[in-house]
A and B are shown apart, each in its own frame.
Chain A
Amino acid sequence: MKNTDKTNMTGTATKLSRRNLLLATGALATSTGTAAGMSTKTSTHLEALGGSKHKRVTTLNGRSLPYRLRGGVKEFHLIAQEFEHEFAPGTTVKAWGYNGSTPGPTIEAFEGDRVRIFVTNQLPEHTTVHWHGILLPNGMDGVGGLNQPHILPGETYAYEFTLNESGTRMYHPHADEMVQQAMGMMGLFIIHPRSTEHAVDRDFAILLHNWAVHPGTSRPDPSIMTEFDLWTLNGKVFPVIEPMVVRTGQRVRIRLGNLSMHDHPMHLHGTHFKVVGTDAGRIAESAQWSMTTALVPVGGTLDLEFIARAPGDWPFHCHKSHHTMNAMGHEVLNPLGVKQSDLDAQIAKYLPGYFSMGEKGMSEHQVHTDMGHHPAPENTLPMGAGKGLYGNLEMGGMFTLLKVRDHLRNYDDPGFYQAPAGTMPRRVSSDPNFKL
């Protein structure tokens, strides 16, 4: 399948007639083999969605699912399947997801739309899809064995319902749920309101997840309940997660869904935001308040909104510090303060290249991995990575940047922000006993 994102959801789409658009999307949506040639680059469209003032959401490292219109019903096609998924160069897994990606493509529609969603099961076991947070007839709720028979391997089921509310929702299996979600089967379902009252300039969609991909393995381990190895935003880890690029003064929305096993306190630098919505819809303005960290609960969504106040590179990350790291051994003996370097040469007699680490902290880790001193275990990412203008970022996992710029030609990554003179800290002494 060709890249549907680029074909249907780039700037060229606005030049197409509605009929042409539907023909194009319909032709592509009915084809299969979506894993092949799928781009994970975020579409950088600025165009309106369906002629309204609502912008399409930007799914970081992802895309939205195309649809076709048939008899007034928007038809989508999800294909549940296994494929190779890359968290960042150096780590791939055999994941399960939809249409070749995890999370699956974001479904976007409007409040009041009638949608028909075909679900083809190419997995080795049965599945279903639960439309998380959407109010619909009980039979369409997607709980295997309860509301419907399971969708057996090779079968295609059609779900059909009307979207009666707007907001950020999710979809995921309700069959062998522990395994299938651990393997990556999930996606966001964005229902835009008909009203343009709360339209924003930039609308980002992010699904939070965790992965038990033990070092040296290449298939997620569904049996893990709390000790995960990788923490992802839209299936990627920093620094592969794309930045959110906005213009100064723009109204920005970040939609967060959490289908991981942990709550995540998501923290944004450089501005205050308000939580304006949950997976039950828009929160009344009187109930909103400003904050910089919002706890996204397991199985819930939050919509954050703010005005991009000042230019700069502003981190957006989970504030559980282990969630902004990649795999590390939590049983590792604490090396901090352990004077042991005099033993290195003796140990290196038996383990060539051995040297002790962590006596003064763990920041040296990225130095060594970047310089190639440390060969990586099979299919394993270093704990921290990423370089900025002034050094190593020493981050991984759930970390990205909100890049605010006064002037933008497009929403491609503008590179690092160079702070103007006089707006940065300066070194005043190198004497550790410095006194005022």
Chain B
Amino acid sequence: MLYKNIYALTLFFLLGGCANLPNERVEREVGKLAEEQGAGKISWRRTKEADNAVKALINDALSAGLKPDDSAQLALLSNPDLQVHFETLGIERADYLSAASAPNSVLQWQRLTQSGVDGAAVEWGLTRNILQLILWPTNRRVAKLDMDGAQLRAADEVVKLALRARTEHMHALAQQHIVELQVAHTDLARLAFELAGRFREAGNLPLGELEEERTRWMEARRALDEEKLQSFNDELNLSRTLGILGLGNELKLRGQLSELPEKELSLLDLERLALQRRLDLRAAYQSTKARLVRLGSVRWARFTPSIEVGTTTAKEDNGSQTSGLTASLELSLFSQQEASLAASDSLARLAMRRAESLAMDVRVQVRQAQAEMAVARARVEAWKNEVIPARAVLVDNRVREFFFMLKGPFDPMRAKQAALEAEIEYTRALRDYWEARARLALATGDLSLSIAEKMT
């Protein structure tokens, strides 16, 4: 009977639980979280086939030309930094698997010999820490909370990347348009110089004024070079974000900067939205929860830090065999897990404070982004509704005055250049607005805020 019980107990000790969390599930969970925030689909590429599939996709997308949404999607599939993050998540997964698995039993074996005596005494024992077993579900829960937090942070990285790709796309688009405008500006400077040359040939213009026009043209060319360099850098940055460098594909951007949306959300709505949606904040709350659960378990086990029970079988050198149960209990006489408790307590409070701090940061980020957006909006409206129409009136006036012999031909050309400069500033202002709006989207965790209805 005793042996039967011992065997049963041994069987019990040998039984346990293995945590199961495949990479595919982690990827699915992260993807789902990111999509809820408005990001596209992700791909945690772990095989050569997956790499090749993404490359094919990139080639197709690049040959068709990219819209802002395409850039965001492409970055999620191809950006190497995100893959790095996914692999980090893999390590977190390993930690989870380790923490969430059932505590192992300990198998002991010893063989004892006596000098001058043949034979040896052999002892087998199987023990298990009952306290760890009792705490296993709690530890598993803590591990799950930490893993959830890791997934939330990974999804947050996905959202940030999608937003960065979209923002860089808009920036590059705006810069391309600025280059087009600067080309026109430079061409007008060239024409003014050529025209001045004709006046000079006719004997109607002093050399100094011709050289003045040459200088203006040179300055316009230098300005164009600067804008082209900026455009080159913008496209390079975007290519880096998309992870498409070295593919031999030319970046073709489609779409245009959208006009301002008619209305803005109120600050209260935005803060509420941010507190609900920010994944990193949710991750911080998860971490707090995990630390609190951990603290509870440490408190609970404070006076019973270790209980081990087991079975043992000993075979003496004379061939007799004895079997029985073993138990050991750590006596909390001198150490009552104060250190562990203090650490857990601090970790719990630290997590709470971090979450509080992050929540405050979130509010600050929302307010800053909203204020920047409001200023950017005012700039856009000023250029669009005041300066550009004023410049158009000036161009019209200068043309009329030219035709009425009140002004020379350079005056309407300069007025047109001023109008082009106004359009450039308007484009910059509109770009700044959408960038501020992207920061607001980042601050609120709602990617859709960075997407205008008319975005093409």
Contact = CB atoms under 8 A, between A and B. Distances in A.
Nearest to A332: B408
A337 B204 contact: yes
A374 B408 contact: no
Contact of A333 (B187, B188, B400, B408): B408
Given A338-B198, A338-B204, A343-B195, A354 B399 contact: yes
B401 A329 contact: yes
B202 interface: yes
B410 A351 contact: no
A216 B188 CA distance: 26
Nearest to B399: A351
A365 B191 CA distance: 23
A358 B205 CA distance: 15
* Centre residue among A346, A350, A368 by max chain B CB count within 10 A: A350
Contacts of A336: 202, 204
Contacts of A333: 199, 204-205, 408-410
A374 B413 contact: no
Contacts of A328: 404-406
A356 B404 contact: no
B11 to A, nearest CB: 91
A106 interface: no
Interface in B342-366: none
B397 A216 contact: yes
User: Which interface residue of A354, A357, A376 has the most chain B CB atoms within 10 A?
Assistant: A354
Nearest to A358: B405
Interface range on chain B: under 10, 10 to 19, 20 to 34, or 35 or more?
20 to 34
Contacts of B397: 216, 377-378
Contacts of A383: 404-405
Interface string B190-223: 0100110011011111000000000000000000
Given A335-B204, A340-B195, A368 B403 contact: yes
Nearest to B408: A333
A368 B402 CA distance: 12
B180 to A, nearest CB: 13
Contact of B412 (A354, A365, A368): A354
A25 interface: no
Contact of B202 (A215, A339, A357): A339
Contact of A377 (B187, B204, B395, B401): B401
Contacts of A354: 399, 402, 412
Contacts of A139: none
Contacts, number: 104
Given A339-B202, A382-B404, A350 B188 contact: yes
Given A340-B195, A343-B191, A343-B195, A353 B203 contact: no
Interface in A208-231: 215-216
A350 B413 contact: yes
B399 A353 contact: yes
A380 B406 contact: yes
B93 interface: no
Contacts of B201: 338-339
Given A350-B184, A353-B399, A376-B400, 16 more contacts: A215-B406, A328-B404, A332-B406, A333-B205, A334-B204, A338-B198, A338-B199, A340-B409, A343-B191, A347-B188, A347-B413, A350-B188, A351-B416, A354-B402, A369-B403, A374-B400
Interface of A: 215-216, 327-329, 331-340, 343, 346-347, 350-351, 353-354, 356-358, 362, 365, 368-369, 373-378, 380, 382-383
15 contacts: A331-B408, A335-B409, A336-B202, A337-B202, A337-B203, A339-B198, A340-B195, A347-B191, A350-B188, A350-B416, A351-B413, A354-B412, A376-B404, A377-B400, A377-B401
